[in-house]
Amino acid sequence: MNKPAFAPVPHQDAWIAHPQGRIFTRIWNGAADKAPIVLFHDSLGCVELWRDFPARLATAAGRSVIAYDRLGFGRSDPRQDKLQLDFVADEAERFFPLIRERLGLQRFVALGHSVGGGMAVHCAARDAGDCDALITVAAQAYAADETRQGIRIAKEEFKDPDQFERLSRYHGQKAKWVLDAWTETWLDPAFGGWSLADVLPLVTSPVLAVHGARDEYGSARHPEMIAQRCGGPSRIVMMQDTGHVPHRERPDELAALVAGFIAQAD
């Protein structure tokens, strides 16, 4: 039997009370004197769907890793409202500040996957003085035609009961809300003008934009826009033979890449 490529990392779970409901959080413990890495999940994601990547990253970086289920996702409480078109920026305004306060995060590293990358950008911009580094993974920088087409295809695929059942394993009764929050928001004509263009110049920390060369939801134009428009030093890494989920397709390679980048940024 093959041994895991990383040592087990102790973790602890917590629920953070928000005016709209409880937010589930998991912390993989690392060095207390280093800013923790906060993970922002994708449109259908949650803590569990990061799989063992947070433990691998905590080992590689030698610091704590924090992941949380956005309200309405995973183990967090359901949302009663419809997701608004400004939901990417809203995560940085109404939710992440409470996460920071309750966990006592004076400084942080923001890492976001897919739409979580956009949320990480907004958090890095809003709290620019406290963000040590920003890493985007397969992030969308704007509502591209190929992104929306990929979502249309996925929407049809989720009509398969087996596909929807897999989503329900992670989100329970919230699965329909989660799916609609993704497909109906992104495919809303009013969302077509969404972009990170205005917020990126407010990011002053070092930025690493990682993208799969075979990402089915966006081309290299996304990391290029992130790197070109951000206000801090930037680097782009295109991972060959990789699709939209590098942390599941190449977890060790991504963990080492992120750890090395953060070490250089310190």
53-109 pLDDT per residue, tens: 999 999 999 999 999 999 999 999 999 888 999 999 999 999 999 999 999 999 999
Is CATH 3.30.450.40 what the domain over 11-265 is classified as, yes or no? no
For 101, list phi and psi in degrees, rounded to 5.
Answer: -65, -50
143/195 Cα distance (integer angstroms): 7
Burial group, residue 32, by CB count within 10 angstroms (0-12, 13-18, 19+): exposed
Average pLDDT over residues 110-114: 98
Compute the mean pLDDT over every residue in the chain, rounded to the nearest whole number. 95
Q: In this structure, are strands 37-40 and 11-18 parallel, antiparallel, or unpaired?
A: unpaired
Check: CB of residue 61 under 8 Å from CB of residue 262. yes
Angle at 95 between CA 72 and CA 22, to 5 degrees: 50
Q: In this structure, are strands 21-28 and 11-18 parallel, antiparallel, or unpaired?
A: antiparallel
177/66 Cα distance (integer angstroms): 24
pLDDT of residue 7 exceeding 90, the answer is no
pLDDT digits (tens, 9 = 90+) for 133-171: 999 999 999 999 999 999 999 999 999 999 999 999 999
Structure tokens at 44: 């259908």
Structure tokens at 167: 């989503």
Which ranges of 10-105 does DSSP label H, i.e. alpha helix? 53-61, 87-90, 96-103
pLDDT digits (tens, 9 = 90+) for 196-221: 999 999 999 999 999 999 999 999 99
89/163 Cα distance (integer angstroms): 29
What band does 5 get if pLDDT is binned at 50, 70 and 90?
low
- H or E element at residue 24: strand 21-28
pLDDT digits (tens, 9 = 90+) for 218-263: 999 999 999 999 999 999 999 999 999 999 999 999 999 999 999 9
pLDDT score for 266: 78
pLDDT digits (tens, 9 = 90+) for 172-193: 999 999 999 999 999 999 999 9
Strands (E), 121-240: 131-137, 207-212, 234-239
pLDDT score for 2: 46
Which residues, other chains included, contact 177 with Cβ-Cβ below 8 Å and sequence gap of 6+? 72, 78, 79
The pTM of this model reads: 0.96
Q: In this structure, are strands 108-113 and 207-212 parallel, antiparallel, or unpaired?
A: unpaired
Return the residue matching tokens 């295809």. 153
